């Protein structure tokens, strides 16, 4: 019985997922420059010909992965710019980070991959480089504004909001790197530990 159009689409999406997963793992663990298209195909368990049917170049694959991560950052910006309680927004965000870093490597890989792409394109006029810089700057600004609002409402500790925002993301980035480096020895800090510098004691 011939496959339906929907079945072919499911197979196509499943193959792309395997390619993206393999590429992300290899880019993070052995570096973009040291990863060949053949390495990606072998790790994904597919032929190199099938890989090329989905992605014409390794650059195209990297750009799609980083683009996916950047879209996630944009969603965080929109969330932080909403009218909801600053404490609830930060608590929900940290709960998601905690769950993702505790249960798998995807978030850790995405965060490391963004940094790798940023460093790799430094000194170029790459559109991707500029977009990552702009989104990171917007996210820092949105988070600092959220912290200021939380301070005004008495939910957060006092301090320089921009410095606190930088520390907030530096700690998450550091946890992502430790997750990959320490593997099974990694112990994810609890949400209360991650927000101790920000939330008022007893709040």
Confidence (pTM):
0.87
The pLDDT assigned to 203 comes to 45
Question: How many Å apart are CA 23 and CA 202, to the nearest integer?
Answer: 44
Question: Regarding the domain delimited by 1-56, which CATH topology (the fold level of the hierarchy) does it fall under?
Answer: Arc Repressor Mutant, subunit A (1.10.10)
CB neighbourhood size of 26 (10 A): 19
3-state class of 155 per DSSP? coil
In CATH, which of 3.40.190.10, 1.10.287.130, 1.20.1050.10, 1.10.357.10 is domain 58-203? 1.10.357.10
Tokens representing 116? 């790798």
Sketch the domain layout of the chain as residue ranges. 1-56, 58-203
The pLDDT assigned to 145 comes to 97
- Give the residue-averaged pLDDT of 168-186: 95
Tokens representing 27? 């880019």
**Matching residue, tokens 């905690």:** 98
- Give the residue-averaged pLDDT of 4-20: 87
* pLDDT above 60 (res 109): yes
Would 1-56 and 58-203 be classified into the same CATH topology? no
What confidence tier does 130 reach under pLDDT thresholds 50, 70, 90? confident
3-state class of 156 per DSSP? strand
């Amino acid at each position: 019985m011939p496959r339906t159009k929907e079945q072919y689409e499911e197979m196509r999406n499943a193959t792309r997922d395997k390619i993206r997963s393999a590429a992300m793992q290899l880019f993070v663990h052995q570096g973009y420059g040291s990863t060949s298209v053949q390495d990606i195909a072998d790790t994904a368990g597919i032929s190199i010909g099938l890989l090329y049917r989905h992605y014409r170049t390794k650059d195209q694959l990297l750009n799609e992965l980083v683009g996916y991560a950047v879209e996630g950052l944009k969603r965080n910006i929109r969330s932080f710019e909403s009218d909801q309680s600053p404490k609830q927004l930060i608590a929900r965000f940290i709960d998601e980070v905690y769950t993702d870093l505790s249960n798998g490597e995807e978030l850790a890989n995405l965060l490391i991959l963004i940094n790798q792409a940023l460093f790799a394109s430094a000194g170029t006029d790459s559109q991707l480089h500029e977009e990552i810089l702009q989104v990171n700057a917007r996210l820092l600004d949105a988070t600092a504004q959220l912290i200021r609002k939380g301070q005004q409402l008495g939910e957060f500790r006092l301090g320089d909001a921009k410095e606190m925002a930088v520390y907030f993301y530096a700690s998450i980035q550091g946890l992502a790197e430790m997750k990959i480096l320490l593997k099974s020895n990694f112990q994810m800090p609890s949400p209360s530990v991650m927000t101790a510098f920000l939330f008022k004691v007893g709040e």
